[in-house]
Structure 1
Amino acid sequence: MRSDTERNRKNLIQAAARLFEVAEGPISMTEIAHEAGVSVATAYRQFASVEEVLNTYRQDVGQLLLEFSERQQGSGVQRLESISRYWIRLVRERGAAMVPMRNRRGYLARLWEGADYLLVQANAVRPALRDAMQEQSLPDIGDKAVFLWNILFDPREIFDLLDTVGLSEQQVGSQLMAVLLGGLRGFAEGQGANAEPASHSAGREK
């Protein structure tokens, strides 16, 4: 990719993030282009839609989580807690731009169809989730574990706990981790003998 093309692409992603951080309504590609200092035609040469710009931003944030995850050591629970706490920090620093645009389709439907911005995040938490469940003598429930993690660690809910309730990042991490571990057990025990085979999601892991 040419240097000016790469620069325009990065500028558009950063411009979209700035706009979405303060947005109270829809953002147009024209607004993103203006904020980035490029023409609308240039913006559309890089991205087909506003959603694509935002999903690329989400994927970049998810990549940071994946790289952090791959450096972690220790037990599954220890790694899962470290990864989850790092995600809370990323949300506080970068997550406001990920809140305004919500997709009507379910998380697992989009994940299993291969949405890159969801895959990178899922790959960051899958190994630790699987190992944490094994340590608790729980059956592998596949991507239902990632589904539960995604519900609890949704940026909008994290901001609600931080800003509305007034919890610290440490408190949010501790309380959500406690709920997550209990929820994983509930999912596994509720599923009983019909637990999803590990192979269902194994092909999606990096």
Structure 2
Amino acid sequence: MTGKPMRSDTERNRKNLIQAAARLFERSENPISMTEIAAEAGVSVATAYRQFTSVEEVLNTYRQEVGQLLLDYSQKQSCSGLLKLEKVSRYWIKLVRERGAAMVPMRNRRGYLERLWEGAEYLLVQAEALRPALRESMEEMDLPDIGDKAVFLWNILFDPREIFDLLNTVGLTEKQVGTQLLSVLVGGLRGFATANEFSLESYKVK
């Protein structure tokens, strides 16, 4: 049974609150309150709380929307494996440049996989955009499937905060960021898959 469609004013208020929160987090280094989000959106605090229970929920919804854009892009690709992984990863960097500043303040004390496996929707949609390409990439490299450790590694490397650090602090171009992160990702995937045979001695120059 499908839920009732949102009333137009309710949907409009919800959209305005999400966009307001994104704008505030893009330009503020301090914590943001629901009162500030409501004021930015031009609605009452009571209306804001009817839509969202917390600031975190507003931002998670925003992140889910960005993740959905990544999933939509991923599902439209006709390629697979490493090529698809590259395209999806580079598109994510593009999304981060355009929309990711609001996601930078997001930090959580709980681990990524814990939240993913508990069903956090904003993480699930992003993971679904990447899992097929990561799995196929492992097959192309003749490596065993490492499950969600692959998306765990991708999430560490392609964190919006770190992407902006490479872009703005180091001064890399978007293309350079993608190339360097993909290089590290592929090496990391191989490292995860062959960790049982890992030895520092094997890396020393004889």
The bucket for the TM-score relative to the shorter chain is over 0.9
Secondary structure (helix, strand or coil) at the match of 1:25 reads coil
Q: What are the within-5 Å matches in structure 2 for residues 49-198 of structure 1?
A: 49-191=54-196
Identity %: 80
Which residue matches 1:28? 33
| Cα shift at 1:191 | 4.4
Q: Is the 8 A contact 1:69 1:124 kept in 2?
A: yes
| Cα shift at 1:101 | 2.4
1-side partners of 2:192 and 2:143: how far apart?
A: 10
For each residue in 1:21-69, what CA deviation from the matched residue of structure 2 results, as whole angstroms up to 9, or x when unmatched? 0111100000000000000000000000000000000000000000000
Query: Which aligned runs of 4 or more in structure 1 are off by greater than 2 angstroms?
Result: none
Unaligned runs of 5+ in 1: 193-206
Secondary structure (helix, strand or coil) at the match of 2:194 reads helix
Q: Is the 8 A contact 1:23 1:100 kept in 2?
A: no
Secondary structure (helix, strand or coil) at the match of 2:43 reads coil
Secondary structure (helix, strand or coil) at the match of 1:38 reads coil
Secondary structure (helix, strand or coil) at the match of 2:29 reads coil
2-side partners of 1:73 and 1:175: how far apart?
A: 24
Q: Is the 8 A contact 1:80 1:128 kept in 2?
A: yes
| Cα shift at 1:117 | 0.2
| Cα shift at 1:16 | 0.2
| Cα shift at 1:75 | 3.3
Which residue matches 1:201? none
Instruction: Give the partner amino acid of 2:133.
Output: A
1-side partners of 2:89 and 2:95: how far apart?
A: 10
Q: Is the 8 A contact 1:141 1:188 kept in 2?
A: yes
Q: Which piece of structure 1 moves more, 98-107 or 125-134?
A: 98-107
Which residue matches 2:21? 16
2-side partners of 1:146 and 1:118: how far apart?
A: 10
Secondary structure (helix, strand or coil) at the match of 2:133 reads helix
* Alignment size in residue pairs: 192
Which residue matches 2:201? none
TM-score, reference length from structure 1: 0.92
Which residue matches 1:203? none
Structure (1 or 2) with the larger CA radius of gyration: 2
TM-score, reference length from structure 2: 0.92
Secondary structure (helix, strand or coil) at the match of 1:26 reads coil
Instruction: Give the partner amino acid of 2:120.
Output: A
Instruction: Give the partner amino acid of 2:97.
Output: R
